[in-house]
Structure 1
Amino acid sequence: MFDAWGPSRYETIMYGNIREKTMAARLSGISRAIRISHEPRLPGQSAVFDVACGLAGPLVYFYVWWLLRFAMEKGIRRIYFLARDGHIFMKAAHELISVWKLDIEARYLYCSRESLLLPSYENTGDFEHHWITWGYASSISIAEICRRLGLTIEEIRPFLANGGLSSYASCPERPIAREDRPNLNGLLKDESLARLIREKGEPLFETALSYLEQEKLFDGVPYLIADTGWRGTSQYALSALMHKGGRRPPGGLTGNYLGLNRDVHRFGNDSLHAYLFDWRFTPRDYRLYYFICFEMLFSADHGRTFGYQELDGVIVPLLADFPAEQIKSLTAIHHQKVSEYARMAAEGIPFGAFDDSFAEVSRMLSRAFICSPTAEEAEVYGEWPIASEMGEGDFQAMAPPMGFCRFVSCAIGSDRIRGFWPQASLVRGNQSLLCRVYNRFLDLAVLDWYRRWVLRY
């Protein structure tokens, strides 16, 4: 019990690396005060409180503070936090806006790639081709493509026959072979197929556009959108949807994200900004590359948005079931502690005191969790269910225990685990030394080459 009263590793990182020492003491002290508060805890929840108070709380606080500063400087008066990762950001924003008395509105936009991409479809360009065919480790099936396009196997069967892909009609769940990719690319350029997709998506387009209008995206108030980020797919789809409906702002959309990957999708004159990393302009930091860790930390307490419908004159989001009951309590802890941290920090620190060193501190905190999870963190968070495709039809544990042989098999590309978090898997498999070796490997400049030529994705 008394050991828990000392600083955690996350609090030590904050205290030692925030430049202004009074602020460092305050922010790390808030984390510690919330962590050791006297609350009933179930077995295994100590790690969750450590992560919620020492990592999620400060990381969300720093990001949302950066976001609010950007908005105020640019004259933006509304922020739309995109579902689902934006839910926890919005809660923190409400706390900061209230305490700091800022003239800005924080709203939540129910959306997802699934709810935006098909309604925004007009023709198959590079962006559309990417979301239609993307699959983990370059694997995709005709069945999954049909799900993304809202088509049945019967509707796509004639196109498969004409495109040299008829063998997949009888086994649509089979991954499309690499040698058949050229035929798939030709099929997706067929104007008859594009016409069918537009016809099927037209009712979805009308309802989605009405939802955006209902949520005041067209009322003239300057706004930006915010989310975890990675490739900007949702922002592109929003812009494309507005463009299709003739409602896109002439100046484009502005998106501010936790992080952006190298291959970002940008529609027209849209702008995208990032807080934690922006690998369009800097080398990839592979110690931060496991995006599922951030998505897990910022999980919402509701299921994904898969569409919209009109109900009594109001457009309401259609939500899938929450993916797993066992993580509801963990998600609730994250949300509660993040909000509590934001409120307590804002009460003692003025809005204008933002320090640019926060970004590097945020990266250090994130690397500690991703690359060096404790045994308890790896056990609790390694069982978190994740899905690799946007329809979320393939939930599995994000970091199953992994021994030496399984790790080597994955490393050479013969055994592929979707979305896996290798450091936590190795810790769960009692391979801590191998975990340290793997982290050293992440620092080498050959990793891009390794992904391209060995793993081939």
Structure 2
Amino acid sequence: MPGPAEPTRYEQIMRQHSRRAGDAAAMFCDASQAARALVPVSSDHEQVIRDVAAGVAAPALVGAVAWMLREAARRGLARLRFLSRDGQIFYELTRRLASISGVELDIEYVYSSRLTWSLAASDPTCLDEEAWLFNSFMKSNAHDLCARLGLPLDDYTPLLAAAGVSLDPDCRADQPQQAGAMRQFLRTPQIIEVVADRITETRRLLVDYASEHALLDARTGLVDAGWTGRMIDSLLRACRTHTQQRPRALLWGYEPRKAAPDNLDRVAAYMYNTATGNGLQWRVPDAPFLIETFCMGDHGIVTGYSRTAEGMVEPVLRTPGNPAAAAWGLRTYRSTLYAFAQQLTSLPQEDLRPLIHELMAAFWCHPSRSEAAAWGAYPYDSDPAGTATRPLATPLDEREPVRGDRAWISGALALSPPTIRQRYLADASLAEVLGVPAPD
């Protein structure tokens, strides 16, 4: 396909934000146009991936990296540890941009997961009170529950049945009867015993891994996309970290369910922080789904840790690669981000959040049909155990136009006929349309 010529609508937005030649908005616009010219595409699908990567994802991610480097220097941090998998793209961009930042830091990509760290922090005698076993964008069903605990479903079917847990995949923890049965299953002595052994071993390995990579030092910054902060809290609980030793957390966005007072200074967020109220005007609906998509990793979920013959701790990955994301267009996406970063000769000092918000809102809230089709095909999975992969957006069902398992509701609306859109919007709650932070 021919290279880009006319500016995209995102580049037009950047030009409109520019107040003088060479300012951050102009610099980002030039970088976007150059990246599109440098990354060849062979289909309309790849072109849409590339254009959104250059015009929306790159500004959002590079803006965060510039802030993270400044914040690390302001807080006197000695190192940054980028948590897999969402932290991988921040690591790759930081690695490429550190030389022009004027900030010297020890940076490293480390392996983590909600699945492993949450398990390590759990109390086996109170599994029925562990929210991570039930919650996600799609609440757990019986298969999800067992997967999060590392229990083969077939081996535990009799115990599930005895507790009244349905094996129907559509029966989930947001249904009171199913939730109660799941809790009964988790209180079963046999389950407590089996899971206790897994927790003990996982915790032991995590403590050693954290020590090997300086994850718990007060001059360490843990970088992640963000949201509730529970995964980092799980690390601290599992390792029984004292307040004085706690690392800092640098997140893209932070929306804790309950804001712990001792987290207010320890956790810093770039775009918005619901605990402090900072930047809430820059939060787009369902922001976590968008940023997690932009932070797609190139390897599988960390399912645990193992010890090498030399005594070091290494991650255990479900898969060495991320074949679903690769098939969707991960190479085109990442190549565009890297090409964008390579155009920059300095990092912006301005507050880029107004620009980034407008770019993100234009794409996420008002996608074209071609954008909804290409990006809606991304294999999004919000489940800690990777059991709930769904397209980011699919057309609404004509018979029952409800959100269901669609993470990107504006993408779903763009793919649906006007009459179906109208029926959905007439019945949907304001909270669902606005994508407010989800309660437990």
TM-score by length of 1: 0.81
Equivalent residue, structure 1, for 2:326:
327
1:437 Cα offset (Å): 9.4
> How many residues end up aligned between the 2 structures?
432
Q: Which amino acid aligns with 1:80?
A: R
2:268 paired residue among 273, 291, 310: 273
1:68 Cα offset (Å): 0.6
CA deviations on 1:361-383 (whole Å, 9 max, x unpaired) are 11111111111112221111111
Q: Which amino acid aligns with 2:405?
A: R
Report the secondary structure of 2:140's partner residue.
coil
Equivalent residue, structure 2, for 1:413:
none
1:6 Cα offset (Å): 2.2
Q: Is the alpha carbon distance of 1:434 and 1:265 closer, same or farther for their aligned partners in structure 2, counting shifts above 3 Å?
A: same
Report the secondary structure of 1:22's partner residue.
coil
CA deviations on 1:135-172 (whole Å, 9 max, x unpaired) are 546x43344323323346699789879xxx63328879
CA–CA separation in structure 1 for the residues paired with 2:84 and 2:248: 17
Q: Is the alpha carbon distance of 1:202 and 1:365 closer, same or farther for their aligned partners in structure 2, counting shifts above 3 Å?
A: same
Equivalent residue, structure 1, for 2:369:
375
Farther-moved stretch of structure 1 (121-130 vs 106-115): 121-130
Q: Which amino acid aligns with 1:236?
A: D
Equivalent residue, structure 1, for 2:234:
237
Equivalent residue, structure 1, for 2:294:
297
Report the secondary structure of 1:36's partner residue.
helix
RMSD (Å) for aligned C-alpha atoms:
3.9
Equivalent residue, structure 1, for 2:212:
214
Q: Which amino acid aligns with 1:424?
A: G
Equivalent residue, structure 2, for 1:78:
79
1:337 Cα offset (Å): 2.2
Equivalent residue, structure 1, for 2:401:
409
The answer to whether the 8 A contact 1:81-1:87 is kept is: yes
Equivalent residue, structure 1, for 2:123:
122
Structure 2 regions of 5+ residues with no counterpart?
none
Report the secondary structure of 1:168's partner residue.
coil
CA–CA separation in structure 1 for the residues paired with 2:71 and 2:97: 14
Counterpart check, 1:366 vs 2:360: yes
Equivalent residue, structure 2, for 1:60:
61
CA–CA separation in structure 1 for the residues paired with 2:50 and 2:20: 26
CA–CA separation in structure 1 for the residues paired with 2:82 and 2:326: 22
Q: Is the alpha carbon distance of 1:59 and 1:371 closer, same or farther for their aligned partners in structure 2, counting shifts above 3 Å?
A: same
Equivalent residue, structure 1, for 2:225:
228
Q: Is the alpha carbon distance of 1:319 and 1:27 closer, same or farther for their aligned partners in structure 2, counting shifts above 3 Å?
A: same
Q: Which amino acid aligns with 2:84?
A: A
The answer to whether the 8 A contact 1:61-1:341 is kept is: no
1:87 Cα offset (Å): 0.8
Equivalent residue, structure 1, for 2:195:
197
The answer to whether the 8 A contact 1:240-1:267 is kept is: no
Q: Is the alpha carbon distance of 1:206 and 1:373 closer, same or farther for their aligned partners in structure 2, counting shifts above 3 Å?
A: same
CA–CA separation in structure 1 for the residues paired with 2:128 and 2:249: 18
Equivalent residue, structure 2, for 1:447:
431
1:426 paired residue among 394, 413, 422: 413
CA–CA separation in structure 2 for the residues paired with 1:148 and 1:447: 29
Equivalent residue, structure 2, for 1:175:
172
1:210 Cα offset (Å): 1.8
CA–CA separation in structure 1 for the residues paired with 2:359 and 2:434: 27
Identity %: 21
CA deviations on 1:293-350 (whole Å, 9 max, x unpaired) are 22122211111111111223232211122453463572122222222322322x1x3x
The answer to whether the 8 A contact 1:150-1:201 is kept is: no
Counterpart check, 1:258 vs 2:252: yes
Equivalent residue, structure 1, for 2:144:
144
Equivalent residue, structure 1, for 2:285:
288
Q: Is the alpha carbon distance of 1:343 and 1:200 closer, same or farther for their aligned partners in structure 2, counting shifts above 3 Å?
A: same
CA–CA separation in structure 2 for the residues paired with 1:55 and 1:427: 18
The answer to whether the 8 A contact 2:283-2:357 is kept is: no
CA–CA separation in structure 2 for the residues paired with 1:436 and 1:59: 33
CA–CA separation in structure 2 for the residues paired with 1:274 and 1:18: 25
1:61 Cα offset (Å): 0.9
The answer to whether the 8 A contact 1:127-1:265 is kept is: no
1:182 Cα offset (Å): 5.0
Q: Is the alpha carbon distance of 1:156 and 1:236 closer, same or farther for their aligned partners in structure 2, counting shifts above 3 Å?
A: farther
CA–CA separation in structure 2 for the residues paired with 1:62 and 1:336: 18
